[in-house]
Amino acid sequence: MELRLVNKTAANEGHAKPLLAALAGQAARRPPVWLMRQAGRYLPEYREVRAAAGSFLDLCYTPELAAEVTLQPIRRFGFDAAILFSDILVVPDALGCDVRYVEGEGPQMTPIRDAPGVERLASGGVTEHLQPVYETVRRLAAALPADVALIGFAGAPWTVCAYMVEGHGSREFQEARRFARAAPDVFGRLIDTVTQATVAHLSAQITAGAEAVQIFDSWAGVLPESEFLRWCQAPVRRIVAELRQIHPRVPVIAFPRGCGALYPDYVRDVGCAGLGLDTAVPLRWIRAHVPDTVCLQGNVDPVLLLQGGPALAAEVERTVEALSGRPHIVNLGHGVLPPTDPAHVQMLIDAVRGP
Ligand code: 1CP
């Protein structure tokens, strides 16, 4: 009896929220769940706010609207976490790049491909420029239900720099890879500038009320090993270490999408509390090679979520089973696809939570 009371007290000490308990290393019979891109175009209520907001950046920088679209999927589905509505490219925007979102084409900016372009970046006033984002975080921290955790985020330096060099999205990021190889010192200075800005940006989100942060390295998988270690792993290790100095109790989730066999060494070296797994990585293999102190997050196929049906519930069940007994957060292997039926998201949650 007494032991149960002690356990209950321990569980309530900062970990009353299932998502934070998982990130602190506790396994649960039914894991917590949230989805990357859980706010967005698949929700009609998002499309309505988005149309009224004007530009996408206006939406990101208007705290009232950004908080509203963050809360929409929480109201509709009751996820265990809300992820701040923002974008990874607000950091280059704050550094003085002319980031714009072109309807139907995605984000664009003038490419940076030489030393003067790197030196021109305004590394000083990043957190001043991003004050509306922190105001959004403060509003969310005040508005969320007591059992829902608030996740802040940023892009990893490699992924953000890849967009900055390319000037837009890409499948291969050829220009970024070429530049990093042709002028590694200049590219290294770009990575350093973005790394420092990212520490400041994540730290400000935490100060404003974010309880965990995720670092999205969506394009980690295009680099060969040596460059992955230099441009993905080392900067994220530095971000995690610097954040730990300032906010020792706030967990970091790293998502080095597509790094395959490099996942186990990455997580040991980076020292993150949570590891985001992409759809392709086998869970049995991860289970055998990643220490069980790390909270695993993932990795249901977003295309299966798009399709729905009994195969979706079966796959969720398999995912939960494969990681049972370990700290686990159910998520997708990448973001929700815009044509997804919201009813399929409800099916996924029902499958996680059971009868
Ligand atoms: O038209 C619209 O409404 C804009 C679509 C959109 C949305 C909803 C963009 C443009 N960004 C976002 C929000 C967003 N982006 C969130 C919000 C919170 C949530 O998850 O609910 C997050 C976490 C991101 C992160 C992000 N932006 C990533 C990393 C995750 C991933 O998907 O790999 C990346 C790569 C971006 C860049 C970006 N921003 C927007 C688009 C369409 C893209 C991808 C562009 C491309 O590569 O072509």
Q: In which band, very low, low, confident or very high, does the pLDDT at 352 lie, cut at 50, 70 and 90? A: very high
Which are the contacts of 261, defined by CB distance < 8 A and separation ≥ 6? Answer: none
Question: Residue 9 falls within a domain, yes or no?
Answer: no
Residue 329's CATH number: 3.20.20.210
The Cα-based distances of 351 to 27, 82, 148, 297 in angstroms read 18, 19, 19, 16
Question: Residue 275 falls within a domain, yes or no?
Answer: yes
Separation of 3 CA from ligand 1 center, angstroms?
A: 46
* Catalytic residue IDs: 37, 41, 50, 87, 163
* Nearest residue by C-alpha to atom 14 in ligand 1: 87
pLDDT of residue 155: 98
Separation of 12 CA from ligand 1 center, angstroms?
A: 34
* Nearest residue by C-alpha to atom 22 in ligand 1: 87
- Domain range for 257: 18-353
Separation of 87 CA from ligand 1 center, angstroms?
A: 6
Cβ–ligand 1 contact at 46 (below 6 Å): no
Cβ–ligand 1 contact at 88 (below 6 Å): yes
Question: Residue 7 falls within a domain, yes or no?
Answer: no
- How many angstroms separate the CA atoms of 83 and 67, rounded? 10
Q: pLDDT of 280-331, one tens digit each? A: 999 999 999 999 999 999 999 999 999 999 999 999 999 999 999 999 999 9
* Nearest residue by C-alpha to atom 9 in ligand 1: 87
Q: In this predicted model, which residue has the larger pLDDT, 285 or 14?
A: 285
- 313, two tokens: 């519930």
At residue 323, the 3 state secondary structure works out as coil
Separation of 194 CA from ligand 1 center, angstroms?
A: 18
Q: In which band, very low, low, confident or very high, does the pLDDT at 1 lie, cut at 50, 70 and 90? A: very low
Question: Residue 1 falls within a domain, yes or no?
Answer: no
Question: Residue 13 falls within a domain, yes or no?
Answer: no
Cβ–ligand 1 contact at 70 (below 6 Å): no
Question: Residue 211 falls within a domain, yes or no?
Answer: yes
pLDDT of residue 122: 85
- 238, two tokens: 């530095």
Question: Residue 4 falls within a domain, yes or no?
Answer: no
Cβ–ligand 1 contact at 154 (below 6 Å): no
Separation of 153 CA from ligand 1 center, angstroms?
A: 12
Separation of 269 CA from ligand 1 center, angstroms?
A: 27
Our count of domains for the chain comes to 1
The preferred substitution site among 33, 36, 37 for testing ligand 1, maximizing ligand atoms within 8 Å of CB, is: 37
Separation of 57 CA from ligand 1 center, angstroms?
A: 11
Question: Residue 304 falls within a domain, yes or no?
Answer: yes
Neighbouring C-beta atoms of residue 103, cutoff 10 Å: 7
Q: pLDDT of 92-127, one tens digit each? A: 999 999 999 998 899 999 999 999 999 999 878 999
- How many angstroms separate the CA atoms of 117 and 134, rounded? 28
pLDDT of residue 9: 38
The Cα-based distances of 67 to 83, 150, 250, 336, 337 in angstroms read 10, 11, 21, 19, 21
pLDDT at 128 over 80: yes
Cβ–ligand 1 contact at 56 (below 6 Å): yes
The preferred substitution site among 62, 87, 103, 236 for testing ligand 1, maximizing ligand atoms within 8 Å of CB, is: 87
pLDDT at 14 over 60: no
pLDDT at 12 over 80: no
The number of the ligand 1 atom at minimal distance from the alpha carbon of 155 is: 29
Cβ–Cβ under 8 Å, residues 120 and 51? no
The number of the ligand 1 atom at minimal distance from the alpha carbon of 216 is: 29
pLDDT of residue 124: 83
The Cα-based distances of 285 to 26, 65, 218, 323 in angstroms read 21, 42, 21, 11
Cβ–ligand 1 contact at 152 (below 6 Å): no
pLDDT of residue 11: 43
pTM (2 decimals)? 0.95
* Nearest residue by C-alpha to atom 12 in ligand 1: 87
* Nearest residue by C-alpha to atom 17 in ligand 1: 85
